[in-house]
Amino acid sequence: MADDRGGAGGPEAVLAIDIGGTKFAAGLVGAEGEIIAAERVATPPGGEAETLWKTLTELIDSVLAREPATRVTGVGVGCGGPMTWPEGAVSPLNMPGWRAFPLRARLAGRFPGLPVRVHNDAICLAAAEHWRGAGQGSADMLGMVVSTGVGGGLILGGRLIDGGTGNAGHIGHVVVDPGGPACRCGGRGCVEAIARGPGLAAWALDQGWVPGATGARAEGLYEEAAPASGRQLSADAAAGDPIALSALARAGRALGIGIASATHLCDLDIVTIGGGLSQAGPPLFEPLEEALRAHARMDFARRVRVVPARLGQDAGLIGAAALIIHPTRYWTASA
Amino acid sequence: MADDRGGAGGPEAVLAIDIGGTKFAAGLVGAEGEIIAAERVATPPGGEAETLWKTLTELIDSVLAREPATRVTGVGVGCGGPMTWPEGAVSPLNMPGWRAFPLRARLAGRFPGLPVRVHNDAICLAAAEHWRGAGQGSADMLGMVVSTGVGGGLILGGRLIDGGTGNAGHIGHVVVDPGGPACRCGGRGCVEAIARGPGLAAWALDQGWVPGATGARAEGLYEEAAPASGRQLSADAAAGDPIALSALARAGRALGIGIASATHLCDLDIVTIGGGLSQAGPPLFEPLEEALRAHARMDFARRVRVVPARLGQDAGLIGAAALIIHPTRYWTASA
């Protein structure tokens, strides 16, 4: 049991947990955001509630066993939404086994006496980039993730903004084309409806995109069919595929308009963009900048900078730890 | 001089000032937001910097003379933007005589030893509605003004959000139709470009609107030409003019989409709408609600309510006073 661990004199760390549809990660994170130990496992596909929970607790035990002298001072968790917040009953879109699963309560039972805080995974990524990544020193930041969805978290006045239900930062559902494509949310023309990887890939296929063909042609390799993914779209754009380039330009414009709106509404300094599609580089970021500068025209909005996220795969753990290590900045809930 | 006034035992009040392109207002406001005394004067048209300042100081002296026993504890000011913030050097769009006029510094010289705080007028209106008006009890609110421009202020987590330059809350420049009409800001398709009174009136004239014709016809009065104003548009819509109704529906849709975006980004409870055009009633609010509900589709966003502002013409003074009376909520700047 974690509460039996470590002496009063042992080193201290936060147990950080990052729960996603493809992997679970757990780590011990130090006071400056350094990863002391971390492990990952694949999310059990189709796992039922207790299977998922067992996978998580085994992962936690394994990580804790690597640093037996370390005293855990709290548990921070980033998890895919939706969830009730700050109660932390989670229903991650990509994990049907957990529906209103009392993740925070179960972890609190496992670590009695310690603070256990659960927040949206995109919000943890924003907190991480603000604390230790590309947003350091900014008082007013939007941290974005562009991947199979488009998510985000807001830091305003130097503090994480939760919103009334813990859902502030949903830049993916800012409307950029009211008559545009239908969105998973039930709306139309949201940033996410246009810029999420799968939506973008579907659009490109409609336009005649053959995934991998451009790169394969260059290398003389025709045989293997490439997946119609956002990642492949980025690779094909880098290889010069005109449809892939058009698709990324389309995503970039949607992101740029959405960021212009967010900047006008929230008076932002900086926007960080992470996630798979953000790896696409200039084919995404140049049209993004062009649309942003065309629409963010108020004097105060011209200072906003859009930069790639910096922390990579550890960001989720660092942001989860931030909920515990810097609560005055990243945990305003009373719970 | 104000600092010679009142005994230690006298009643206390805040001197609140509301500076706009058409009028200056000054008042003494008590701890619960009650107006103890207030006066208004027309803004001197085309006034130079010192003429405007003299008008303001005479107005202040006149109000203070009405309550000689009252001790002033601070000076709160709402003023048309843009301004440097929190320094309070103001350049109101509609008052060319003040360009980088050091309003805060001049008032600080007039009231030595007292806190003097200047903020954007739309932000003061939002603070007022949150403190004493339609937004009371909400933690997460957008307070809007729809008039010759479209402005706003954000309260998130129970505190006024300033943004890095004091410009948070610019809902008027959230983009709702990227290919839409040019906006005064230099962008295109902003909420304000569509929904501001003069823009809406111009659109209606283009469609063949004859201001006042519908109402006049009903009353048998043809002679007097009515102004092509947002107010007239509201009146004509109320009288059943189909073009006026279309114009208000157009504004309502733009507002509804912009509010949907703001709700998704900021996880809002409530949006209050004041200003001249907000008087139009159902012809504005019904299309607004329809567009809002079509686009605010995330579960958490469905709770948002849009309501008319409640405070009327005193709102500016009440909000200016809030900067002094409740600084932990409404004045986060260190100055």
In the predicted model, is pLDDT for residue B6 greater than 60? no
Task: Write down the ipTM of this complex.
Answer: 0.94
In the predicted model, is pLDDT for residue A240 greater than 80? yes
Mean pLDDT of A151-170: 96
Determine the Cα–Cα distance for residues B87 and A84; give it in Å rounded to an integer: 41
Distance of CA A154 to the CA centre of its chain: 12
Determine the Cα–Cα distance for residues B154 and B160; give it in Å rounded to an integer: 6
**Greater pLDDT, A298 or B216:** A298
Q: Which positions 47-76 of B are in contact with A (Cβ < 8 Å)? A: none
Distance of CA A233 to the CA centre of its chain: 20
Torsion of CA B246, B263, B141, A324, to 10 degrees: -170
Mean pLDDT of B261-290: 96
In the predicted model, is pLDDT for residue A247 greater than 90? yes
List of E strands, chain B: 12-19, 23-29, 35-42, 71-79, 83-84, 89-90, 116-120, 141-146, 150-156, 159-161, 270-274, 305-308
The pLDDT assigned to A226 comes to 82
Q: Domains in chain A, please, with CATH?
A: 2-121 (3.30.420.40), 134-310 (3.30.420.40)
Instruction: Name the 3-class secondary structure at A89.
Output: strand
Q: Which residues of A touch B176 (CB under 8 A)?
A: 175, 178
The answer to whether residue B264 neighbours chain A at the CB level (below 8 Å) is yes
The pLDDT assigned to A333 comes to 75
In the predicted model, is pLDDT for residue B7 greater than 60? no
In the predicted model, is pLDDT for residue B152 greater than 60? yes
Interface contact A269-B171, CB threshold 8 A: no
Q: A5-19, A131-145, B106-120: which range is least confident on average?
A: A5-19
List pLDDT tens digits, range B228-238.
988 899 999 99
Instruction: Name the 3-class secondary structure at A144.
Output: strand
The answer to whether residue B100 neighbours chain A at the CB level (below 8 Å) is no
**Rounded to the nearest 5 degrees, what angle is found at the Cα of B317, between the Cα atoms of B42 and B235?**
65
**Rounded to the nearest 5 degrees, what angle is found at the Cα of B174, between the Cα atoms of A155 and A83?**
45
The pLDDT assigned to B215 comes to 63
Q: How confident is the model at residue B172 (pLDDT cuts 50, 70, 90)?
A: very high
Interface contact A174-B299, CB threshold 8 A: no
List pLDDT tens digits, range B302-334.
999 999 999 999 999 999 999 999 999 999 875
Q: A97-106, A173-182, A209-218, A265-274: which range is least confident on average?
A: A209-218
Sole residue written with tokens 């360009």: B99
Contact B153, B122 (CB under 8 A): yes
The answer to whether residue A39 neighbours chain B at the CB level (below 8 Å) is no
Cis status, amide bond into B86, omega within 30 of 0: yes
Per DSSP bridges, beta strands B23-29 and B35-42 are antiparallel
H-only helix segments in B267-314:
282-295
Q: How confident is the model at residue A214 (pLDDT cuts 50, 70, 90)?
A: confident
List pLDDT tens digits, range A54-68.
999 999 999 999 999
Contact A176, A194 (CB under 8 A): yes
In the predicted model, is pLDDT for residue B66 greater than 60? yes
In the predicted model, is pLDDT for residue B4 greater than 80? no
**Greater pLDDT, A1 or A214:** A214
The pLDDT assigned to B2 comes to 45
Preferred mutation among B84, B119, B167, B175 to probe A, highest tally of A CBs within 10 A: B175
CB neighbour class for B33 (10 Å; exposed up to 12, middle 13-18, buried from 19): buried
In the predicted model, is pLDDT for residue B219 greater than 60? no
Can you read off the two tokens belonging to residue A53? 């929970």
The pLDDT assigned to A220 comes to 55
Determine the Cα–Cα distance for residues A206 and A153; give it in Å rounded to an integer: 32
List pLDDT tens digits, range A72-118.
999 999 999 999 999 999 999 889 999 999 999 999 999 999 999 99
Nearest CA-CA distance, residue B254 and chain A, Å: 10
Can you read off the two tokens belonging to residue B206? 């283009």
Q: What is the DSSP letter of B42?
A: E
Q: Which residues of A touch B166 (CB under 8 A)?
A: 267
The pLDDT assigned to A332 comes to 82
Up-side HSE of residue A123: CA atoms within 13 Å toward CB? 36
Mean pLDDT of B273-283: 92
CB count in 10 Å sphere of residue B299: 12
Contact A229, A201 (CB under 8 A): yes
Q: Which positions 286-305 of B are in contact with A (Cβ < 8 Å)? A: 291, 294-301, 303
The answer to whether residue A87 neighbours chain B at the CB level (below 8 Å) is no
Interface contact A298-B332, CB threshold 8 A: no
H-only helix segments in chain A:
49-66, 103-110, 121-132, 191-195, 197-206, 213-219, 230-238, 242-266, 282-295, 315-325, 327-330
CB count in 10 Å sphere of residue B22: 11
List pLDDT tens digits, range B93-121.
889 999 999 999 999 999 999 999 999 99
Percent of chain A with pLDDT over 70: 94
List pLDDT tens digits, range A251-307.
999 999 999 999 999 999 999 999 989 889 999 999 999 999 999 999 999 999 999
Packing angle, helices A103-110 and A49-66, rounded to 10: 40
Mean pLDDT of B150-161: 97
Q: Which residues of B touch A155 (CB under 8 A)?
A: none
Per DSSP bridges, beta strands B270-274 and B141-146 are parallel
Q: What is the DSSP letter of A176?
A: S
The answer to whether residue A167 neighbours chain B at the CB level (below 8 Å) is yes
**Rounded to the nearest 5 degrees, what angle is found at the Cα of B165, between the Cα atoms of B161 and B166?**
40
Across chain A, what does the average pLDDT equal?
93
In the predicted model, is pLDDT for residue A223 greater than 60? no
Amino acid at A80: G
- Of A189, A180, A200, A293, the C-alpha closest to A250 is A200
